[in-house]
Structure 1
């Protein structure tokens, strides 16, 4: 029985290691974590916004992955500039492997004609990875039952680093597309005195508005959109594609995550190429929106992982300017605060 538990534990560790090697933390509700998605979206509501996100991945596995994020951003129309701050904590495994970072963001809007805007962005990051050495279990401890000598190789239990991300974003009343390059400084986060370089991450996202109801300017909008997000990091590829239907109070979203026709270099037997179906329900009242989503796993991990739960809370205030986030439910992409949507920001 004891050996069986050890084997099961080792399998879980291997599964967790797949995720650590393959990708950074992520949110299924990526448009509900806008500045986490791209620094170019800092200040994208034209006012001030506060966001909180929580993700519990694989709750069926004890102490698997939990991710927390809080952010604040605002826009200064006088300078055509958005500013943001993003704090993220990702916890993984029984050894409390924590990744925490603070990102300071800047974006600048450049009008292109009457309809399009170009928004480059930057994020400067200070991060730290840490673990609890006392909770690590080494192979010789399992075999001999005595304390391991392996801990001597862990010269540190904390690794601090600086990093940089750059982004671009184009949008119009109908379409939007963006790209992000993260870990530009290739920081070293090794606990053992050698090199463990954080691999570059590239993200491409975009979408279009499919339909909008004919409502008066004082009513909340009703519309539908289709969008995608593609990520590449260290051989790992991930695609999310789906859409939302927005009502006056409720919004619904369905997303598919996976790339079953492509091979992921870091994933044995294509474990997560056909990953999950994500179902989202949001409720909006005034400047607040609360959304819940569940990742219904389609891969072989579904029996053990039990999917993922995610909650997001958004508070938007001072929406005084003409350019509004493409992904805000109050963006009709035609009118905002009784003003034509194609008006430029001064």
Structure 2
């Protein structure tokens, strides 16, 4: 029987191992989660490509269960560009997910494309697609096997256990779309349509991830100061995600008083079907200053088990541009497309 242990084991480390083992036993993979869905909108739905800015470059970092010394860490780099005809936009997306305790890493790089249509003077439609290449691997540097232990507990000799899981390579494709006007938006996306195999030994598919999301923005005040839009608004949002045998429902509320945005999202709304999900309350603080956006969020766990592992910190930093003069010219020529009112964080 194969025996191994983590170096410097702890109660939190054992909890993490239990979580990982449980996920492996399902023979299905799961996608990573971000608490700022509109700062990671290309990951949420490829239809968002080029909708919010003329161009943008965003860096996101998420540290989940920080009491485990960074065991669950995710980084994402995304960028999108809208062509001057406003009908076409392209984007790139790079994700890096790391589970430090057992040295598991997943790297995925992809591209997105969206085509924008003006359905009427006030309604717009965006249809998008994505394609990505992924690589996942396991490092054994942090593991100690039974044949490396002596009576006094010291280690030193190399293990005779065969632990040579080759890296897994896979291809994934997805589609998504949005309908919107200046007051509301609703979208749907389907990721991993081909359900790629992520197994190291036996088959373990990455199930299709389906997501439906939307929201409504109520403007208390709108104006333009020095060619920059300013607003005071309230925006309730909602989202439902299903992947394999798991599902997640969320409800949020964003308050914006330019340049600040405050948000609260409740994750884990109980559903009639399926097991009771882990519940969390996410608080979001964002600021938009010129060409920069900076966002921070923290997950406050409402479930006892996950509370022992700590919450989650998430940061987003965006460099973006929106040409107000160009938009005004297009509006005069009746060539301007509706603007999507979703939050930026």
TM above 0.5:
yes
Which residue of 42, 48, 59 maps to 1:52?
59
Give the SS at the match of 2:247. Answer: strand
Question: Which is worse superposed, 128-137 or 108-117?
Answer: 128-137
Say whether the 8 Å CA contact 1:22–1:233 is kept in structure 2. Answer: no
Deviation, 1:133, is 2.7
Aligned partner (choices 281, 285, 297) of residue 281 of structure 1: 285
- Cross-structure match for 1:151: 162
If the length of structure 1 is used for normalisation, what is the TM-score? 0.83
Q: Is the Cα contact below 8 Å between 1:80 and 1:109 reproduced in 2? A: yes
Go from structure 1 to structure 2 and tell me whether the alpha carbon gap of 1:329 and 1:275 turns closer, same or farther (over 3 Å shift). closer
Q: Which residue number corresponds to residue 231 of structure 1?
A: 241
Q: How far off is 1:136 after superposition?
A: 3.8
Name the count of aligned residue pairs: 320
- The answer as to whether partners of 1:221 and 1:329 remain within 8 angstroms in 2 is no
**Equivalent residues of 2:39, 2:344 under 8 A apart:** no
Partner residue, 1:206: 214
The superposition leaves residues 210-241 of structure 1 with CA deviations (integer Å, 9 ceiling, x where unpaired) of 33314356551221111112110111111121
182 and 7 in structure 1: CA distance in 2 versus 1, 3 angstrom threshold: same
**Cα offsets for 1:172-223 (capped at 9, x unmatched):** 112111111111122112222x322111111111111133314356551221
Determine whether 1:107 maps to 2:114: yes
Matched, 1:242 2:245: no
1:260 aligns with 2:270: yes
Task: Pick closer, same or farther for the CA change 1:51–1:6 going to 2, 3 Å.
Answer: closer
**In 1, distance between residues paired with 2:150 and 2:206?**
32
CA–CA distance in structure 2, aligned partners of residues 249 and 41 of structure 1: 22
Scaled by the length of structure 2, what TM-score is found? Answer: 0.83
Q: Which whole-Å CA distance do the structure 2 matches of 1:179 and 1:142 have between them? A: 53
1:184 partnered with 2:193 = yes
Residue 221 of structure 1 corresponds to which residue in structure 2?
231
| Residue pair 1:257, 1:276 contacting (<8 A) in 2 also | yes
Distance 1:114 1:18 in 2: 51
In the other structure, the counterpart of 2:311 is 307
Q: Does 1:124 align with 2:134?
A: no
Shift of 1:281: 0.9
- Please list every run of 5 or more consecutive structure 2 residues that lacks an aligned counterpart in the other structure: 328-335
SS of aligned partner of 2:42? helix
User: Is the 1:237–1:259 contact (alpha carbons within 8 Å) kept by the matching residues of 2?
Assistant: no
The SS at the match of 1:29 is coil
Structure 2 equivalent of residue 69 of structure 1 = 76
Q: In structure 2, what is the equivalent of residue 95 of structure 1?
A: 102
Instruction: Report the 3-state secondary structure (helix = DSSP H, G, I; strand = E; otherwise coil) of the residue aligned with 2:38.
Output: helix
Q: Flag the 1:91–1:8 CA change in 2: closer, same or farther, 3 A.
A: closer
CA distance in 2, matches of 1:247, 1:142: 60
Query: Relative to structure 1, is the Cα distance of residues 14 and 114 closer, same or farther in structure 2, using a 3 angstrom cutoff?
Result: same
- Rounded to whole Å, the distance in 2 between the matches of 1:143 and 1:37 is 50
Task: Answer yes or no: is the 8 Å Cα contact 2:180–2:340 preserved in 1.
Answer: no
Residue by residue over 1:65-93, the C-alpha shift from the partner in whole angstroms, topping out at 9 and shown as x without a partner, is 11100111011132611100011101114
Q: Is the 8 A contact 2:215 2:342 kept in 1?
A: no
- Which shifted more, 214-223 or 249-258? 214-223
Mapped pair 1:316 → 2:320: yes
